[in-house]
Homo-oligomer: A and B are copies of this chain.
């Protein structure tokens, strides 16, 4: 403020030629047509003569016209944004879901915008609220267990809402995913069928990850339906990671060397368990069976065989995107649509 010179931009003289964003009016003027004709020409709407088309196109290119989505969306009362809310990006699973969404949106002219909640419901509320204020054409959010405030927000929004990854519950609008509970049950049954009897469970961040909790509950339920029970449970906090898996596995095996199967809250942690076993010389799956969840690429290449439920992340994302797109054309005929995928269990042994 004290220095008038430094405050100025690098060209204090040529104030006339200030690099201002070109507007549609500029293009129209350059092309010698009206704003409206330029607008129509640029977005390929009808009622424009061939010659005007060309003049406008040329003018736009010359001026480097970029357009203004803000004004466009405001004026046309619709936007080409799809809000996507996921709990984390540190987990490759959600990255794959996003990439599925991007794929599903391909060519539709819709653009996804992401929000990350870090598994925090308050943050989720804020993010959704913020997204709504950009009035997106639709919303894709993770899970079915939003608190009441958030649900109200979603219900009032009057746009298609797709809840992904889970189908155990009542969706606001539509949901696509898999039954986490059933996935846990299926894995328990599969492990029992493999001859396992002394089960342990290793998980991380269960207080935050409601879907992992549902799988856990399903797993336990299936065990007790067969008259079995978990021998030991080892849970930790902090982000679910390979490192935590390795440490928690070392711990649970030290305390319970008799275990013949460990179910993990997901593949990352299970891979950590596999690393521990490799390092400790424990025969997997000969002496100890490990089971994760997701069917990560990584698991397939592991030097030991571990079981996992292959979840169709990319497909879920794609399906969610398509639901948003279709229910956007029809007016909100989405309600109650429920798309369930069934994870396949892969053991490789």
Chain A positions within 8 Å of B, measured between CB atoms, are 7, 9, 19, 21, 64, 66-71, 73-74, 79, 89-90, 92, 95-96, 98-99, 102, 111, 113-116, 129-130, 132-135, 152-153, 156, 158, 241-243, 245-246, 271-272, 275-276, 278-279, 297-298, 300-303, 331-332
A279: shortest Cβ distance to chain B, in Å?
Answer: 4
In the assembly, what is the distance between CA of A158 and CA of B64, in Å? 13
Contacts A89-B89, A95-B95: A243 and B66 contacting too (C-beta < 8 A)?
no
Q: A245: which B residues are within 8 A, CB to CB?
A: 301
Contacts A9-B332, A19-B158, A243-B301 aside, 18 further interface pairs with beta carbons under 8 A come to A21-B135, A64-B153, A66-B129, A68-B74, A68-B133, A69-B133, A70-B135, A89-B99, A90-B92, A92-B92, A99-B116, A102-B116, A111-B130, A113-B114, A243-B300, A275-B301, A275-B302, A278-B303
Nearest 9 CB-CB pairs, A to B?
A89-B95, A279-B303, A278-B303, A69-B133, A70-B74, A67-B133, A113-B113, A242-B301, A246-B301
Q: Which residue of B lies closest to A18 (CB)?
A: B158
In the assembly, what is the distance between CA of A298 and CA of B92, in Å? 13
Find out whether the CB atom of A95 lies under 8 angstroms from the CB atom of B99: no
Q: A95: which B residues are within 8 A, CB to CB?
A: 89-90, 92, 95
Q: Which residue of B lies closest to A158 (CB)?
A: B19
Find out whether the CB atom of A64 lies under 8 angstroms from the CB atom of B99: no
Q: A302: which B residues are within 8 A, CB to CB?
A: 275
Q: A300: which B residues are within 8 A, CB to CB?
A: 243
